[in-house]
């Protein structure tokens, strides 16, 4: 029986390990042809190597699938262009872009260096923009030529970005930016037959092993396995998801949820006198829901 992504062409960034590897294997298992992108660097973004991407390609080929490796830096605009071009040149088109590449350089704000801020913002935020920008240009030109697209962009946000997490102002800011990017890009690219969604995954990978997950129980380790993330990405990559766009999905082995973005809360009549605002703000705070905790739920409940 054909898979739900049979014949589709996918680019997956950061696909040499962890969550990205699971995406690549499952999409290939569902019939997609894959460009496995991975710079092969360390968790903090330093260094590079061809091994991880080629290893995943070998796994896909052993399954009977089709894949090629790519070692471009997706945070480099020209590298991102080469990546998208490789998919088109190798497989004759592009249907799916999964922006998954990322690094961590966690630090409390008072100690964070400029380099730690810049590196994380560049890989996550620019590394999402670049491939999407070049893929979108390809799909727009096809649409202008009268060709139909049924294309997908799937970005990777995080609970740290949409709910907040101490020690991750750089990472959280980038991931919040990706969530906003997802919503706006979905509004812009729908006219070309492209949906844009995001996931906010929770999984035990080399990026999270330093966050205390190494002491987790076997049950929790299973719930936090990266294998739980790939199914929703694979479904979003398929033709079945054409009616879903501009959404962020929380996903782990515990639950699949849709995150609800910012909504305007309680309101009062404004005042142009700052001395009068104290009681007004107090009224708003009394009525407003508190911010969510890292689980996405009301922290006071």
Which listed residue (75, 157, 158, 241) is catalytic? 158
Fold classified for 9-259: Rossmann fold (3.40.50)
pTM for the model: 0.92
Residue 276 pLDDT grade (very low, low, confident, very high; cuts 50, 70, 90): very high
Which listed residue (157, 163, 175, 186) is catalytic? 175
Residue 41 pLDDT grade (very low, low, confident, very high; cuts 50, 70, 90): low
Residues of the chain within CATH 3.40.50.720 domain(s) are 9-259
Cβ(298)–Cβ(289) below 8 Å: yes
Residues 52, 56, 61, CA angle at the centre, nearest 5°? 145
Which listed residue (138, 163, 171, 192) is catalytic? 171
Q: Residue 171 catalytic?
A: yes
Provide the percentage of residues in the chain whose pLDDT is more than 70: 91
CA–CA separation, 297 and 229 (whole Å): 20
pLDDT in the model for residue 203? 72
pLDDT in the model for residue 59? 98
Q: Which residue has the tokens 């240009």?
A: 137
Q: Residue 138 catalytic?
A: no
Q: Residue 158 catalytic?
A: yes
Residue 216, pLDDT above cutoff 70: no
């Amino acid at each position: 029986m054909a898979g739900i992504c049979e014949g589709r062409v996918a680019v997956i960034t950061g696909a040499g390990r962890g969550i990205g590897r699971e995406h690549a294997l499952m999409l290939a298992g569902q019939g997609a042809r894959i460009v496995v992108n991975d710079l092969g660097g360390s968790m903090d973004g330093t260094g590079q190597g061809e091994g991880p991407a080629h290893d995943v390609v070998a796994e896909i080929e052993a399954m009977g699938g089709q894949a090629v490796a790519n070692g471009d830096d997706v945070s480099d605009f020209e590298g991102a262009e080469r990546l998208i071009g490789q998919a088109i040149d190798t497989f004759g088109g592009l249907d799916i872009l999964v922006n998954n590449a990322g690094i961590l350089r966690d630090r409390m704000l008072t100690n964070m260096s400029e380099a730690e801020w810049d590196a994380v913002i560049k890989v996550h935020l620019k590394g999402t923009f670049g491939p999407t920008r070049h893929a979108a240009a390809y799909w727009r030109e096809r649409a202008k030529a009268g060709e139909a697209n049924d294309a997908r962009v799937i970005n990777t946000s995080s609970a740290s970005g949409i709910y907040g997490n101490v020690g991750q102002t750089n990472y959280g800011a980038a991931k919040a930016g990706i969530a906003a990017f997802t919503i706006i890009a979905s509004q812009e690219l729908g006219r070309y037959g492209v949906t844009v969604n995001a996931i906010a995954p929770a999984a035990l990978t080399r990026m999270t092993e330093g966050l205390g997950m190494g002491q987790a129980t076997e049950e929790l380790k299973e719930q936090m396995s990266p294998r739980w993330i790939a199914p929703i990405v694979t479904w979003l990559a398929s033709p079945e998801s054409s009616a879903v766009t501009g959404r962020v999905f929380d996903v782990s082995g515990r639950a699949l949820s849709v995150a609800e973005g910012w909504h305007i809360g309680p309101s009062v009549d404004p005042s142009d006198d700052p001395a009068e605002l104290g009681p007004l703000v107090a009224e708003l705070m009394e009525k407003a829901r508190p911010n969510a905790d890292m689980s996405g739920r009301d922290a006071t409940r």
